[in-house]
Each structure stands twice: as structure tokens, then as C-alpha cells.
Copies of this chain bind each other. A is one copy, B any other.
Amino acid sequence: MSAETLGTLQKRLAAFASARDWGQFHSPKNLAMALSVEAAELLEEFQWLTDEQSGRLDDARRERVRLELADVFIYLLRMADVLGMDLMKAADDKIALNERKYPAERVRGDARKYTEYD
């Protein structure tokens, strides 16, 4: 990973939007839509592949997937910035919640439980 931090990246994205007068479009509602659209473009790359094929992508698809991951990341960072939320802190808090909800010793190897995981 580069030494760049999420905060630095968020400042670049804010400047990018601002230089284009795009801030007006970036309400949390619209950004949530954009994030869903990008997540679906990522999904589209995998929709007709088998599970196994999805683990050994050819170079062209691999690069498309990499840039779709970037799009999701960009809108996620933008949305957190606009809402004034700290993504790393949110992830820490959610992992702590998940650790309490799914204790390792209780769920290990229980595929059925996993299919009910949310």
C-alpha cells in the first residue's frame, strides 16, 4: 500500500469534484446511488463466471475488475467525507460488533449459519 492515507485521498476527490462544480450532485442520497451502480458494475464482471473461474481472471477482466473496485472505493470515500464519517473507525466498530455476534468457537464450519449471516 502506498503511504497515502484515506484522508489525503478524500481531499483529492473533494478537490476533483470542486474543480468541476460537481459538489452540487454529491448529496448522500445520490452518492449512495452511485455506489450501488458501481458495485453492480463490479458484479457484472462475475455474473456468468463459475466460482472457480472467478478466482483465475484473465488479464483484461482482471484490469476491469481492479478499476471497478477503485470506483466503489472512490464513491465510498466521497460519501464518508460528505457525511463526516471516519471509515477506519466505522470498520473497527463493525468488526467488534461482528466478533460479538459470531463468536468463532460457535460458528466454525457451520455453513448453514453462514448462509444466514448478514
Contact = CB atoms under 8 A, between A and B. Distances in A.
Interface of A: 1-2, 4-7, 9, 12-13, 16, 19-22, 24-25, 27-30, 32-52, 54-55, 57, 62, 65-67, 69-74, 76-77, 79-80, 83, 85-95, 97-99, 102, 104, 107-109, 111, 114-115, 117-118
B95 A74 contact: yes
Main secondary structure of the interface of A (DSSP, over half): helix
Contacts of A111: 24-25, 48
B27 A35 contact: no
A110 B21 CA distance: 8
Contacts of A99: 16
